[in-house]
Amino acid sequence: MQDHNNFIGKGYTFYRAKSPLRLALLGCVALVAIGGTFVDAKLIPTGASAAISQSGGVTSFADVVDHVKGAVVSVKVNTVEVSDDEGNMSPDVPDLQPGSPAERFLKKFGEQNGQPKPRAGQSLGSGFLISADGYIVTNNHVVEHGKSVSITTDDGKTYDAQVVGVDAKTDLALLKVKSDTNFPFVNFSGKSPRVGDWVIAVGNPFGLGGTVTAGIVSARGRDIGSGPYDDFLQIDAPVNRGNSGGPTFNVDGDVVGVNTAIYSPSGGSVGIGFAIPSETVKSVVASLKDNGAVARSWIGVQIQPVSADIADSLSLKSTKGALIAEPQKGSPAAEAGLKSGDVITAVNGDLIEGPRELARKISGLSPDHTVDVTIQRDGREKTLPVKLAAMPGEPKEAALTSAEQSRTELAALGLTLAPASSMQGSGKSGVVVAAIDQSGIAAQKGLRAGDIILEVAGQPVSRPSEIVAAFDAAKRDGKKAVLLRLKSADGSRFVALATQANS
């Protein structure tokens, strides 16, 4: 089976346990099945903290663990893998003639037309509840290849979960459980931890569930090369595969980070773990909850650090700030009058230490807002108003996020959907079938990739989520099928799909 648990670098390259020392996402633990006991849910007690001795040392984390463990969940993801017995993708081979002996042989023994037969699998990660109504935070890389997602709570109950939205750039995902249960939940910390502060990690390493480890914050602001907005906490609380998406707590029981990656020779913990800080998580989760995606801003400049030599040549007093190598033509920066050689030292009065901080600061602001950018130019300080714009490519990425969500929620139909407006040549109305499982129910009913769904149950649709909602409403009303109106190259037609296919 292919190892989906270890990834390295920006490209998330697969590697095996015997590889040399590398940076790895914590990933998920592949399992065959999970057991669970159903008992009544309990709310988290409040006001707990670590026991402190008279000398100021921590004597026990038991109270804080009792305070938070009910909100930490195991995340199970059903996946489809296409690989050979060694975990490698099968090489391309020429298409085979239908009905030929070779085609019949491959079809019988697991391959058809040179393509490996998909195999179902399961993987596990971690997550945590942030609201009583069932919102859950986890990692994007835990759920991104999933066809369906479920969570198991500390009391053994299992619930189906939907992917509200994902953000690949920060490796975060937001899930939602539909239930009348009043779930226990935890809060994000209102202050950043200091290097040397105690932290407690709770998660689901290797599928064991409910595992607690402790350590300290080893460093802040780590750039591990996983994305453009790296700003990780480094912790030495042991975390392993399956801890991905789980929380790191302070001694007051508040979340200070989301466990994401480890530095390891084998994929096991060696005391160097990385967590997304709660400040980043809070802003991304808020955007995912409201919009299903993260809309980032952009000013359009190529930037670089200010070296000591550059600072001296520009008569700067320090090396802080971001040097503009070139503003892009037609960008917000160019329109505002920023020039090559300008050094950006502050945004809205907040000092900028370097290029990474500038990128994080701008991307965290809403598009179409105007910010005051302070620069050093010709030895003088100057402030220019810059109207932010949406980062190029963000609308497309938001559409892909919707497609990933629809793939999770409509897995039984075999559909991957996206707004028609997001795909060139699909028009502005409806939802396009971006991909289709030829063995799925939708394909058996005649749907094809490229078909555009115009109406569901008589109502126009423009987003995959509207199709999901229509199927949910039909099931609640006891209807056995939902009528879709489609448009394709052959014209318009109606197709009825069974509601139980989406259960």
By annotation, the residues acting in catalysis are 141, 171, 244
Token code pair at residue 346:
């502050």
- The label of the residue with tokens 């000092």 reads 351
CA dist., res. 434 & res. 453, Å (int): 11
Rounded to the nearest 10°, the torsion over CA 464, 466, 471, 477 is 170
Nearest to 77 by CA among 325, 245, 249: 245
Q: CA-CA distances (angstroms) from residue 308 to 231, 312, 320, 321?
A: 24, 6, 10, 12
Query: Residue 456, SS3?
Result: strand
Nearest to 481 by CA among 462, 459, 464, 456: 456
| CB neighbours of residue 312 within 10 Å | 10
Token code pair at residue 138:
């986890």
Query: Residue 140, SS3?
Result: helix
Q: Give strand pairing partners of 460.
A: 455
Token code pair at residue 202:
């709770």
CA dist., res. 128 & res. 154, Å (int): 10
SS3 content of the chain, % helix, strand, coil (to 5): 20, 35, 45
CA dist., res. 154 & res. 74, Å (int): 8
State the DSSP string of 393-419. THHHHHHHHHHHHHHHHTGGGTEEEEE
Token code pair at residue 162:
């939907």
CA dist., res. 485 & res. 481, Å (int): 13
Q: CA-CA distances (angstroms) from residue 86 to 2, 171, 338?
A: 7, 28, 54
Token code pair at residue 261:
């990656």
CA 447 to chain centre: 29
- What is the Rg, in whole angstroms, of the alpha carbon atoms belonging to the chain? 25
CA dist., res. 214 & res. 166, Å (int): 28
Token code pair at residue 315:
């008569």
Gap between the terminal Cα atoms of the chain: 28
Rounded to the nearest 10°, the torsion over CA 16, 20, 26, 28 is 10
Nearest to 194 by CA among 222, 223, 217, 221: 217
In the chain, DSSP finds a helix count (H) and a strand count (E) of 10, 34
